[in-house]
Structure 1
Amino acid sequence: MVQAKWNGAVIAESEDTVIVEGNHYFPRDSVWSKYLLHSDATSHCPWKGDACYHSLIVDGETNEDAAWYYPEPKDAAAEIAGRIAFWKGVEVG
C-alpha cells in the first residue's frame, strides 16, 4: 500500500500506483477530494503533455500546486490518464 501524506493527513492511498520519473501516480478515486483545491497553474512536458494542478488544504494550511495530473496525456504517457501525483513536501511511500 502506497500513501501520500501531508500536514498529518493521508491524502491518497492505493496498491495501484504507476511510477513515472520517480513519481507515484495514484488513481483519482484513491485521492481524498476534500483535501484538493483546483489551481489555475499549468505546465507542459514534451512527452506527457499539459499538466493541471491542485493545491492541498489540510487543517487550514495550504500547499500551493502540490498535486498534478494530465487530463489528456500524450500516447507515450497513456498509463497516467486519470491519475494524480504529488510533490512539494508531500511524503509518498
Structure 2
Amino acid sequence: MKAIWNNAVIAESDETKIVENNHYFPMASVKQEYLEESETHTRCPWKGKASYFNIKVKDKVNEDAAWYYPQASHAAKPIENYVAFWNGVEITG
C-alpha cells in the first residue's frame, strides 16, 4: 500500500492494518521528511487520544492530514504508533 499526496509517496508498506476503513501504516514506513508535528489532538472513545501531523511536500501543506495513537487503548494496541491518512491523501494498493 502507498499513501500519496502532491505527487509524493508519503508512506509505503505491505504491512498496513485496516481499522474502520483506514489503512494504518507502520511509523517506520512513513517518510519523516514530509511530516510536521501538529498541535491537534482528538479522542476516540475506543482507540484513545490521537496526535496529528501536517504533511508538507514542496511548498504545500496539508494540515492534520495524518494521525496516529502514541498510547493507544488496550483495544487499539495493534495500531499504536501506526499512521493513517485522510484529507486528500490517496491510498493505493
Q: Pick the TM interval, shorter chain.
A: over 0.9
Matched, 1:57 2:62: no
- How many residues are matched? 92
User: What is the Cα-based RMSD across aligned positions, in Å?
Assistant: 0.4
SS in 2 for 1:15: coil
The Cα offsets for residues 4-59 of structure 1, whole Å up to 9 and x where unpaired, read as 00000000000000000000000000000000000000000000000000000001
Partner of 1:71: 70
Alignment of 1:1-93 (within 5 A): 2-93=1-92
Task: Give the 3-state SS of the residue equivalent to 2:15 in structure 1.
Answer: coil
Deviation, 1:78, is 0.8
Percent of counterpart pairs with the same letter?
A: 53
What amino acid does structure 2 have at the position aligned with 1:88?
A: N
Which sections of structure 1, spanning at least 5 residues, go unmatched?
A: none
Moved over 2 A (4+): none
CA offset at residue 82 of structure 1? 1.9
Give the distance between the partners of 1:65 and 1:57, measured in 2 at CA. 10
SS of equivalent residue, structure 1 residue 72: coil
Unaligned stretches of 5+ in structure 2? Answer: none
- CA deviation after TM superposition for structure 1 residue 70, in Å: 0.3
